[in-house]
Structures are given as C-alpha cells and as structure tokens.
Structure 1
Amino acid sequence: MINLHKGVMITVKPKKKQLAGWGNYPKESCYIYRPETLGELKGLIKDADVDSQIAYGLGRSYGDTALNKDSGVIGTDRLNHFLEFDEEKQTLTCEAGVSLADVIDVFLPRGYFPGVTPGTTYVTIGGAIANDVHGKNHHSDGSFSEYVLSFDLMIADGSIVTCSRTENEELFWATIGGIGLTGIILKATIQLIPVESSYIKATYEKARNLDDAFEKFIENDANFKYSVAWIDCLSTGDSLGRSVLMRGDHARADELPAKIKKPLGSPDKPGLKMPVNAPGIALNYWSISAFNQLYYSSYKDETKIVDAASFFHPLDSIEDWNKLYGKKGFVQYQAVFPKDREPKKGLRKVLERLTEEKRSSFLAVLKSSGAQNAGMLSFPMEGYTLALDIPIKDDGLFPFLKELDEIVLAHGGRVYLAKDAVLDADTFREMYPRWEEFLRVKQQVDPDGRFASSMSRRLGLTE
C-alpha cells in the first residue's frame, strides 16, 4: 500500500521481518521502516498503517526495548548526519542516527571524546538518550544525559518540539531514559570533552573476594575518572566475587611511552568476526568456570598505558560476538543496588544463587554509580551495578530471573530497561516509582498511544 503525504511517497506496509535485540531474545516479527528524510518520517508517524511504532537504532538494546511485535519499527540509521561543531564550546549537533563510533572516529583525532560512553560504540545518539546509557565514569560524571544540552523530538502529531533543561523540561526528563515512548529523537546537541591522547593510563588491581573488591572501590574510586571490575560470578566460598578492578584516566601526552609517536592516533588492530552461532554446548558451567580462572590469573597489579578502544570497548573488535551464545540467545541482567540499602548483601545473594544454580556468565561487570538524575525512567542510582550475560539454556532461566528481581527489590534496587527482556509490570512499578509521572507526560504528547513497543506493553506502560 502506498500513500502520498505532502508529496512524499511513503511505503505504509513494508515487508514483515523478524527482528531481535543484541541478546537475540526474543525474536519478533515487525514492520520495518527506514526513512531518509524528515518528510518521510512525519508521514510514517501520521499515516503508516500500523497500530504503533518505536524507534530502532543499531540494535544494541538487549531485549525487546526496541521491538514492536506485529507493528511498526522505525529504523533511524539513515538519519545520521553531523550538523554543526562549535569548537569554542566543544559541542556537537548531529542527527540521532549518528553512532558513538562515528563521533569517536571523527573527533578523537581532533582531541575530543564523548563525555560518557557505554561498553560499545555501536549505539546511536538517539538510543543513548532514550536509554540514558552510562559508562565506567558514572560515579564521577553521571550518565549520558549529563552531556546532552538539548534535542529535537518529533511527537505523535508530527510536530517537532525542542527539549532541554530550560525548555519543555518535563518532556526532556521523560524522554531521557524513556525507551522511545515519547516520540522520535531527530537531532541532539551534546557536550564533548577535551583529551590529549587516545590512550588511558589504566591501573589494574586484583581483589580476593567481594569484600576485598568493595574495600578497593571505596578507597580508590574517587581517585579515578573511570572505574569498573570484571567479577568471577562462579567463584565460591572465600573467593566469592573475586574480581579484577580496572580504573583509569585519559592519559596526558607527556605520559605516553616514547614508542607512541601520535598521541591522538589509534593502533591498528585485526578485526575478528563470529561467523555462526556457537553450539549450545560450548558455553556451559565448566567451560565458563575454566575461562574465568584463566582470565583472573592472567592479570597482575600494575599501571600501564592502553589504547582507549581496548579499555572502553574490548568486544567491539569482535563482530557479531553475541553469536557466542548460540541460537537461543542470552539475556543480560543488569541491576543496581542503592548505597543506603547494604548493596553488598544484595550482590552476595545474587552471586550465591548464580553459583548454586550453575547459571554461568563470563561477562560479569561490577561498577559503582553516582547520584540519580531527574530522568523519570532513568536507571542508575547511587550504589553498585552488576551486569550478567546469561545464556538461555532452558525455560528454568526465567523463574530464576524472577527470583533475582525479588532480591533486587528487597534491597531497594532496579533492573536496567535497556537490557531487560522479562520484567513484569508489577515489579517494574515498584522499581520505577515515577512511572505515573512519566505516563502523564506521555499522554500529553501521545494521547492515542502511537509510540509503543513490546516492552511497553509487557510493562503496562501502553495497551
């Protein structure tokens, strides 16, 4: 079916395709649109023959955040142009489909870096805002929204609204972390930070167990801009929660070894690719336990200069690394435990249940997080976050994840929506107490519920 909307030809019902997030679970059939102009986008929002639509960037949300079963998905990857760079203010204005990889490729050689970057560069600016992504510096600098000055949002009637901390402030904070439910982000102005090199002065320190890791976080986090720990989630007994802490700062040019001739250059690295889905038997309790032992043993306490890509985005060098988890896919379970509710006890319970159930994860990351911002559905709060990649081996995983939800709730925490695939509506409402405030703002800009997703229906945010 073809419609003409103000002279622009729009495909109203494109071919239905199966889509998934980065965890390859769930997989759902959606109607996928890829507009190239604002006119096409406006026509799709107003006239497309689907019940609802949701923006879809580069597909790095893990669960069903950007899926919309049997309805519309708007790919933003073609709306990806740089618009303006103000060198005096160090601000970049770009379309929402620009990726952090694009920003780093263009601006790091000029001495600028994103204020916050998550564990991958393959996320769009629009996606970074909609999920209010955070990185290794949340304890010191907050989440991505701290560096967002303003953005333009196309709402359900096709009009464009500029949002900032001083203009349409409520809509600004509803869209920050609002998982795409307020409209389509068109462009944004973000603050970059100046750096002298494309390298990190990194300090590595091993922790014997969870108690030791917490002591090291508390003692030293304030001394580093970036801080994270790989945690062995299968260790037991006195070694439960043993970790490798990785902290660092942007290296000054005068701190680089003599062999590095270009401070803002990047080392060439061979790219790897996971060609097919790994067989399900490849990732099991024993193989991951062996990997964790080898990984922990490979580190020693030291400080050294490493390139930024290795420090921030090590998995970006492996194309399609999610195929390591096989055809059934995996879930990433990320939760935050607030500082004022004995977070170590909550983390210990989660780690104990993982080992008891032999629910293996070799990508387990522990971070400290700073103060909560004003985003109505933004995830981080002051405390500690734990992220786990858990392969889907059997249906028993899902009641187990519900059990983890109960542990998180009991300690006043919440699950990160950008990673979630199974949270129920009642638990969501307990974890995100500002959900009614969010819905009030959404109703103002989207009274007919044109923006919806599989996640929003699962969480009871849309019908």
Structure 2
Amino acid sequence: MRRHKLLVTVSVVALAAGGAALYALPLAADPTGPKDCAGILPPLSALAGVPAAVAEPNWAQRAGTINDASCLNRTPVAGVVAVRNEADVARALAYARAHKLTVTAAGMKHSMGGQAFRAGGVILDMRGLNAIRLDANTRTVSVGSGATWHAIQNAIHPQFAVKAMQSTDIFTVGGSISVNAHGMDHQSGAVMGSIRSLRLMLADGRIVTASRTENADLFAHVVGGYGLFGVLLSAELEVVPNDVYRSERSLISYRDFPETFAAIEADPAIGLTYTHLSTAPGSLLQEALVYAYRKVPADQSLPRAPLGEVSSTKLRRLTVNLSKRNDFFKAAKWWAEKNVEHRLESCTIPRAQAMGDGEACLVSRNDPMHDSVAYLRDALPRETDILHEYFVPRDRLVPFIDGMRALFRQQDVNLVNASIRAVGAEVNALSYAPKPAFSVVLYLNQPADAGGTAAMARLTSDLIDLCDREGGRFFLPYQLHYTTAQLVRSYPELPAFLAEKRRWDPDGLFGNTWYARYAPAVTGLQTG
C-alpha cells in the first residue's frame, strides 16, 4: 500500500514537472522570425505604365506587405528597396518621383508610431548602408545610417565607447537620429549632442551636409524629424574614452528619486545611470532600484575583455514571459532583481581587488550598453509588447507616477517593465523636452487582438492626458492612439515644423503613416 502511494506520489510529481516543462517551453522558445500578429490587409495591385527612362530600384520585395516591431501594423507597400550604396537611394527616389509614390527610410522598424512605412509607398531598407570608420585622432566615427549601435561598439572597442545612444544597441544610427533617442548617459544628453555632421539626400536628389554650423536649420529639423526631410546617408559622431566604471545600486522610494538623481547629477564621476521601478503588485511603482556607474580613474590602464553577448537568453526570456502571466510571477521577478541579479553580474574588468570589494563590479563603459535584448523576442503569436515613453518636468515626477499607478490598477494593465531616465533640454525643432525632464519608459504586454488594441488605446489616451496635466510631453515613435488635439497640445510647434517640411519637400516625396494621418488634420486646425 505504501509502495502504491509512493508510486502515485512520484507519478503526480512527474506529471506536474512535465506539465510545468510543457508550459514553460513556449515561454522560453526562440522566435523563428519577426513576429506578425496582425490581420493582413489587401495587397496593392502591381504598378503599371513604368516610364522606360526610369531605372528600377534594387528591389528586395515588390508589392506585398511590411510590419514593424509591434507586429500589429501590417501594411501593403509598393515595395522594399535593398539599399547598398547611395546610388541605390538616388535611383529609388527618381523612381518614386516618376510614379508619384512616397518614400520612407527604415532600419530595424522599432518605431511603432507609423514612422517606418506608409501604405502604397516605397520603403528603403537602409541596413545595408552600414560602413563604420573610426578616426582615433579626432575621436569621431563616421557611420552609414544603417549601422547598428551593436556593430559600432564592436568596431571601436576597447579604446573608445559611444558617447550617446539608446539604452539597448539593436537600433540603427539613422533610426536613433530620426527620433533623437537618448539613453543612460545623463551628462551627454540625447544623440543630437554627439553629432558632428550629417549627410542627407534631399527630395530633388541633391546631397547636402547639415550640422550646427552648416544648414543649421535643416539639422535641427532632421534630428528628431522622423525621416520627413530627406534620406539620412551617414553621420559623423563623437566617441569618448572607454572608461572603467564600478557598478553601484541602491533601493529607494520613488518619492526620493528626484533628490537621489540631483546627487548623481552633481557627481561628475558617475557616467551612466538608469532606474527601474517596481512592477510587483504589492509595491507597484513605489520601490525604485537606482543603477549608477562610477568612473574609477586608477583602473583606466586595465585590460578590457572583448564585448560579449548577454547570457542565459532562454532563462531571461522565461522570467520575463512568466511575469506577464500573473501577480505571483511579477512579484518574483521584482524580488529577483532586488536580491539576485546583481550577484550574477558579469564583471568584465579582470582585477583581483574586485573580489574584495563586496558587491562592487568593474565594467567598461561599452558593457552596460552592449545588450541586444534577444530575451525580449519571443514566439508567442497571440500577444505583443508595446513601448510608451513620457517626459515630465523634474518637479512633477512623483504626481505623474501616482496618477500612472492609479490608471494601471483601474485598467488592470499588464506592466512588464518601468524605468526612469533623465534628459536635458533638447533644442531640435520638434523637441520632447524643451526643459530638463525625467523620462518614464513603460514596457507593456497586450493581447494581439481588437480587444487588446482597444484597451491599449484607452490607456494611452489617459496617460497622455495625465502627462499633459503635469506639463509633460509624450514620445511620438509609439502607437497612434492619440487625437490630433492631444498631439498639438503636447507639441505646439508642430504646425511650424510641418510648414518647414513642406519647404524642403514641396511635393511630399517623403512620408510615413504618422505624417499621412496627422499632417492634414494639423494643417486643418491651423487654417480652420
């Protein structure tokens, strides 16, 4: 009898373990390709009447459809051009002009707000324009607009590091410039601050240089201009020494963050910083883990290990995807970040003393930013993850988070990650931060169906209104769940920006879904 009970127990445990494994395997599985969870729109018919004098572009795809990283925006296009050189761009623009088609330049297509393509348009896949040339004497790197930050870091390491980039390295330089992206370096500011010059192909095929001193007005509109003024061909960027940092972390109340950051900002030795907010239901957005990287001057001569990829991809993916399933796993994920993750951190600077420095870890500047977040890509077709970002005045962060927490609880939001970064005043034409601000970045999970989209639209609208009440602005590269009135209220300089776009591109050659949706409405508001 005892043996029978033991066999039953073992069988139950084995079944439970097997069931858990079957449940977990899809959550940890590698994706087989780009996720596509939207319904397919009717394809465009093939173009007819091609003038014989107009050369065909270097097509990678004729007609068909295209999607972005959200997987929710499948759109029919005239075709995708594989750009290998500047002549490919010129030929594609000539073709589009002849056929009265719009042109959109695209990289990794992580802009989910309609900036990566337009229905019926010609899409330039810029990823082949990816040359990288380092000039150690001038501390600059000249890069094709299709080069990724990941490739740039590999090319300039170990002597130099990127000055300003997004917090992960998967994006192309052209994409980052088109949104004026920012990251972990609170001292250097957004990408705009590290640009020496840009080379741009205009709508008439001319190539011009734009910088703070040459075509300065165009420069201010191209940076953060969402590709509406021309095709960015290349950029000359500043690089900085690949300093050695000691990683530090502290757990604080979110209410103390402004004071904590003021101390960080006043300390010139801290080169990088970011903050994660709690996603655990019991302490939702109330606890904050502040990460800082402090320069260690005495260790600058130490050898830097080669840049490595983030390890344990499947385990990290499983942890993230489990946290989307219920409150228990959300709490477990936050507990692990507070108590476990930092003990597993890879210390990439070999130094015996580090073993005696408690939890201290030495890394080169490139290391914290060398993350392609492969663990965030999954093979789950019925759901997707969406980014939001809100820029709030630094003295209004706490009430904004309080309002956000109330909305999340009211609407049962599936929050995967929330972080805070700091930005200075950005002086480009369509600035998300006319004054210094704190950026609140949200990573949200939603069902990939009509109900999920409707719920996300409601949340987005409510968060934009909340941000507006606190005197802030919302970031434009995310889903188009806002009204024209909300857009103009957040960006009152938009009518002037659009007028300047028409001056540089009078025939409207460059376009995207965002521009097609909002430009006519904004112009109507202005003239009505």
TM-score, normalising length: structure 2: 0.77
The answer to whether residue 51 in structure 2 is matched with residue 51 in structure 1 is no
Deviation at 1:289, TM superposition (A): 3.8
Higher relative contact order (CA 8 A, sep 6+): 1
Q: Could you tell me how far apart the structure 1 residues matched to 2:208 and 2:440 are?
A: 36
Read off the aligned partner of 2:432 and give its amino acid letter.
Answer: F
C-alpha distance 216-278 of structure 1, shift in aligned 2 (>3 A) = closer
Q: CA RMSD in A?
A: 3.1
Which one of 163, 184, 188 corresponds to residue 115 of structure 1? 163
Contact 2:307–2:367 (8 Å) recurs in 1? no
Of 405, 410, 416 in structure 2, the residue corresponding to residue 356 of structure 1 is 410
3-state DSSP class of the match of 1:98?
A: coil
Alignment of 1:359-374 (within 5 A): 359-370=413-424, 372-374=425-427
What secondary structure is seen at the aligned counterpart in 1 of 2:377?
helix
Matches within 5 A, 1:67-86: 67-82=117-132, 84-86=133-135
The reply on whether 1:382 has 2:430 as its aligned counterpart is no
Relative to structure 1, the CA distance from residue 324 to residue 428 in structure 2 (aligned partners, 3 Å threshold; closer, same or farther) is farther
| 1:180-259 alignment, distance < 5 Å | 180-197=227-244, 200-207=245-252, 209-223=253-267, 224-236=270-282, 240-252=285-297, 254=299
In 2, the alpha carbon distance for the partners of 1:307 and 1:4 equals 56
- SS in structure 2 opposite 1:407? helix
Comparing 437-446 and 182-191, the one that deviates more: 437-446
User: Displacement of 1:452 after TM fit?
Assistant: 0.9
Q: Which amino acid aligns with 2:276?
A: W
Q: Which amino acid aligns with 2:473?
A: R
Richer in strand (by share): 1
Matched, 1:39 2:74: no
The corresponding residue for 1:331 is 386
Using the alignment, how far apart are the partners of 2:432 and 2:298 within structure 1?
Answer: 35
Aligned CA distance change for structure 1 residues 345 and 81 (closer, same or farther; 3 Å): same
- Tell me if the contact between 1:205 and 1:302 (Cα under 8 Å) persists in the aligned partners: no
Alpha-carbon distance change, 255 to 354 in structure 1, aligned in 2, over 3 angstroms: farther
Change (3 A) 1:440 1:96: same
Write the letter of the residue equivalent to 1:204.
R
Q: Which moved more, 1:327-336 or 1:179-188?
A: 327-336
Task: Classify 1:71/1:355 alpha carbon distance in 2 versus 1 (closer, same or farther; 3 Å).
Answer: same
Query: Which aligned pairs between 1:252-267 and structure 2 lie closer than 5 A?
Result: 252=297, 254=299, 262-263=303-304, 265-267=306-308
Residues 74-127 of structure 1: CA deviation (Å, up to 9, x unaligned): 110111113x43322111222211111111101012x11111121221211211
Aligned AA (1:211): R
Q: Percent identity?
A: 18
Taking the TM superposition and a 5 Å limit, the aligned residue runs for 1:370-449 are 370=424, 372-380=425-433, 381-393=435-447, 394=452, 395-449=454-508
**Which of the two has higher C-alpha Rg?**
2
Q: Which residue number corresponds to residue 368 of structure 2?
A: 311
Residue from 267, 288, 291 that aligns with 2:330: 288
8 A contact 1:131–1:378 mirrored in 2: no
Q: 1:88 aligns with which of 137, 157, 170?
A: 137
5+ long unaligned stretches in structure 2: 1-46, 343-357, 524-528
Residue 178 (structure 1) shift: 0.5
SS in 2 for 1:361: strand
Give unpaired runs (5+ residues) of structure 1. Answer: none
Distance in 2 between residues matched to 1:235 and 1:279, nearest whole Å = 15
Aligned to 2:32: none
Q: Deviations over 1:383-422 (max 9, x none)?
A: 2111111112322221121111100111111111223442
Measure the CA separation in 2 of the matches of 1:46 and 1:290.
Answer: 56
CA spacing shift, 1:358–1:309, aligned 2, 3 Å: farther
What displacement does 1:136 show? 1.3
Residue number in structure 2 paired with 1:61: 111
Distance 1:303 1:205, change over 3 A: farther
One-letter amino acid of the counterpart of residue 465, structure 2 = E
Would you say 1:104 and 2:153 are equivalent positions? yes
- Number of corresponding residues: 447
Q: Which amino acid aligns with 1:79?
A: L
For 2:325, the aligned partner's letter is N
Q: Partner of 1:396: helix, strand, or coil? A: helix
Scaled by the length of structure 1, the TM-score of the pair is 0.87
- Select 1:345's aligned residue among 391, 395, 399: 399
Counterpart selection for 2:208 from 158, 161, 171: 161
Give the superposition deviation at 1:9: 4.2
Q: How far is the alpha carbon of 1:333 from its aligned partner? A: 1.0
Contact (CA 8 Å) 1:116, 1:134: kept in 2 or not? yes
Residue type of the alignment partner of 1:115 = K
Q: Output one character per residue of 1:253-281: Cα deviation in whole Å (capped at 9) or x when no partner.
A: 6279xxxx73253356547369x999999
Q: Partner residue of 2:22?
A: none
Contact kept, 8 Å, 1:337 with 1:347, in 2: the verdict is no
